[in-house]
Amino acid sequence: MKGNAVLNLDRFAIDDGRHLPQLVISEDASTAAGTARFRAGCSCGRMTSHPAGTREQALAAHLAHVNTKIGPSKGPKWLPVGARLVILMLAMLAIWTGCYITGEVLADGSKVIVAGFILTGFALAFGLMVATRRYIAPTRA
């Protein structure tokens, strides 16, 4: 292998390990002439084979793919994470309290029905937390 064929992965901003570049030399007349043309691909399988001229162009095409796949976070920019957590906790408390009060009203003194509504309230509150996890504290993965 030539010295420039070694791939330096340190220059890529890859955080999940699924976007590894796959560079393929096109077998055409340009290879026989000494000017190899590279095609860029990605190990994630979502990048179509991108024709490029030089090796640097192929790496730049792959880096553009990585930057589009790993975009900015989806959370609202105007609201800090701490405020989003407080809103989530208040919403979870409101759901649980609503289920508890509904259980007390409908139970007529039966503790089993109240306990069922309490467990339902917990399940709904934590379901809300799971459903909104990407908007509360988004990750780049």
* pLDDT tens, the chain, 141 aa long: 444 444 444 444 444 556 667 777 666 655 566 667 777 777 776 676 666 677 787 777 777 777 664 444 555 567 787 888 899 999 999 999 999 999 999 988 899 999 999 999 999 999 999 998 877 776 554
**CB-CB contact of 134 with 74 (8 Å):** yes
Whole-angstrom distance, CA of residue 126 vs CA of residue 30: 60
| Start-to-end CA span in the chain (Å) | 34
